Amino acid sequence: MSIYRRNGFLLRIFLTSLIFAAGCASNDNFSEQQSSPTTQAENSSIKSSKSSVIDEAVEDLKEWPDRLWDDTKVTFTRSDNITALLLAGGASVAMHQEADEKIADYFERHQKLRNFRDESLNVIGHPTTHFAASSIWYFLSVENQDDLNKQRAWTMRTALTINWLVTMGLKAARDNETPNDKDWAWPSGHTSSSFTVAAVLDEFYGPGVGIPAYAVATLVAYRMMDTGDHWGSDIVFGATLGWIVGHTVAGRDKELEVAGFKIVPLIPVTERPMVGIGLLKRF
């Protein structure tokens, strides 16, 4: 195991701390001595602002369980979501019988990402990074009294939490090994979390932000297979799960679509039984 892999956890902690430090850098210098009435007034204002941010966060936190439950119900009771997840699950089962071994063997012989590139994508795609970034987004929005971004940050945190809970539940239930003999392979948590982030950003900001975010999520998914941390089937289901959770939570009243096309189940009439998905658009 390389030194980059061994120090991966410490690097994530360092980067998360660095991000939080940057978010706090906009505050005044707290080491400044309270030597004048003006300074005392400024310090009092800072303390009041901090208290206000904490109070607002506490109020939002009280309402969060209800929102979390409502969004979870909506996500996993919609027929189009269930269809997509069942198809992804079926694809995972089919892939794990033979295709997974071939994919893992290919990546073992043609590994592209090593050292810094490997660990960078590991950190970028880690759920811890996503939760830290959304928390900073939320607290800075509260401090700046930016209600729109506060709500968007809270939506991101909700989507990430739902995805994490479902992903970890499925990992515990399946409990299979990765190509490099680690536990809890299916589905890929890095992939599902990265696609959750990309889907939420796509809902909020459109393809201008969504497409680059999906590109990064795809690189993270590639990295998980390239390093032997996951099977191809782990990636397929993880990407589908994250995409569904992100789009549903961030677009509660919108139908699940791909580039304007509705997703519908497809059962073609052939000699051999087959199922799939179709894309439907009205003109």
Task: Indicate the fold that domain 39-251 takes in CATH.
Answer: Vanadium-containing Chloroperoxidase; domain 1 (1.20.144)
Residue 61 zone, left/alpha/beta (φ > 0; ψ -120 to 50; rest): alpha
pLDDT recorded at residue 27:
42
pLDDT recorded at residue 218:
96
What residue segments make up the domains of the chain, in order of their start?
39-251
Query: 192 vs 74, 89, 100, 126, 177, CA distance in Å?
Result: 18, 14, 18, 10, 18
pLDDT recorded at residue 252:
77
pLDDT recorded at residue 1:
44
The predicted-structure confidence for 80-100, as pLDDT tens digits, reads as follows 999 999 999 999 999 987 899
The better pLDDT of the pair 202, 264 is held by 202
Mean pLDDT value of segment 118-130: 94
| In the chain, % of residues over pLDDT 70 | 71
The better pLDDT of the pair 36, 239 is held by 239
The better pLDDT of the pair 250, 268 is held by 250
Q: Which of 53, 219, 47 is nearest to 136 (CA)?
A: 53
Q: Is pLDDT of 77 > 90?
A: yes
pLDDT recorded at residue 23:
47
Contacts of 171 (CB under 8 A, 6+ apart): 184, 185, 186, 187, 189
pLDDT recorded at residue 3:
45
